[in-house]
A and B are shown apart, each in its own frame.
Chain A
Amino acid sequence: EVQLVESGGGLVHPGGSLRLSCTASGFTIDNYEMTWVRQAPGKGLECLSFISSNANTIKYADSVKGRFTISRDNARNSLYLQINSLRVADTAIYYCARHPSWVEAVDVWGHGTMVIVSS
């Protein structure tokens, strides 16, 4: 079964950091572009970051640029998101997502990991 499983979420104080991980099973990520998408409680979807299959192209939304860092380890079949200088407004479910170039859409989503930023 094709699957993405996120981990690393939790409760953190403003200004803190977390490292989110996403492990793929049922396929190898080295053929795929990947993204991180978040959803604040009761709100819509926000695309945060994109990384190409070979990591040569990396993009960030303005809302997270300079604070978030996307990376991948194809040998571990894993994607990561380092999130620093967390703000209350970063509270959300963070989804790992497969975004193949031949589809140009997210065709596989993880179940999400919750990040709560609160003092």
Chain B
Amino acid sequence: DIQMTQSPSSVSASVGDRVTITCRASQDIDTWLAWYQQKAGKAPNLLIFAASTLQSGVPSRFSGSGSGTDFTLTISSLQPEDFATYYCQQASNFPFTFGQGTKVDIQ
């Protein structure tokens, strides 16, 4: 199975901050990488697919980049509704493994 490693595991930030989360794959996955946001008690929500394509309806402050093994999710200006846990997922090989998650909380 492809291992996905996110960092950091948690980050404390303030409204307006720029937040960057990284995700590293254990092997080359080209751009088969998605990012999800999950709020407490809710199902995840797709933010970005194909490493950098913004899902319809997702605010433009979210962006993704990377290819191969190293990927980044950036929130350009953190909003109150962005405090949540974020997961990356590879879709190169089944099982489509997830990172362990990054919790973004209020500083």
Q: Is the CB of A12 closer than 8 A to any CB of chain B?
A: no
A47 within 8 A of B: yes
Number of residues of chain A lying within 8 A (CB) of chain B: 21
Please tell me if the beta carbons of A44 and B49 are within 8 angstroms of each other in the complex: no
From A46, A104, A107, B55 is in contact (CB under 8 Å) with A107
Which residues of the partner chain A approach B98 to less than 8 Å between Cβ atoms?
A: 44-47
Which of the residues A44, A95, A105 comes within 8 Å of B46, measured between beta carbons?
Answer: A105
Chain A: interface secondary structure? loop
Please name the residue on chain B nearest to A46 by beta carbon: B98
- Of the candidates A46, A104, A109, the one whose C-beta lies within 8 Å of that of B49 is A104
Q: Are B97 and A106 touching (Cβ within 8 A)?
A: no
Do the beta carbons of A50 and B101 come within 8 Å of each other? Answer: no
Within 8 A of B (CB), among A26-48: 35, 44-48
From the candidates B36, B94, B95, name the one contacting A106 in the complex (CB within 8 A).
B36
Of residues 87 through 119 on chain A, the ones whose CB sits less than 8 Å from some CB of chain B are 95, 99, 103-107, 109-112
Interface contact A50-B46, CB-CB below 8 Å:
no
> Closest chain B residue to A96 by CB distance?
B43
A109 to B46: give the CA distance in the assembly, Å.
9
Which residue, A48, A50, A95, A107, has most C-beta atoms of chain B within 10 A? A107
Number of chain B residues close to chain A: CB under 8 A: 22
A105 touches B89 (CB 8 A): yes
Beyond the given pairs A44-B101, A45-B36, A106-B89, 17 more chain A to chain B contacts, judged by CB atoms under 8 angstroms and listed by A's residue number, are: A44-B87, A45-B44, A45-B87, A47-B94, A47-B98, A50-B94, A59-B94, A59-B95, A61-B94, A62-B1, A104-B34, A104-B91, A105-B49, A106-B34, A107-B49, A107-B55, A112-B43
Provide the bound-state CA to CA distance between A103 and B45, in Å: 14
Are A105 and B91 in contact (CB-based, < 8 A)? yes
A48→B44 CA distance, assembly (Å): 16
- The CA-CA distance from A99 to B89 in the complex, in Å, is 12
Q: Kindly list chain A residues whose C-beta atoms are within 8 Å of the C-beta of B96.
A: 35, 47, 50, 99
A48 — nearest CB in chain B belongs to which residue? B95
A45 to B96: give the CA distance in the assembly, Å.
10
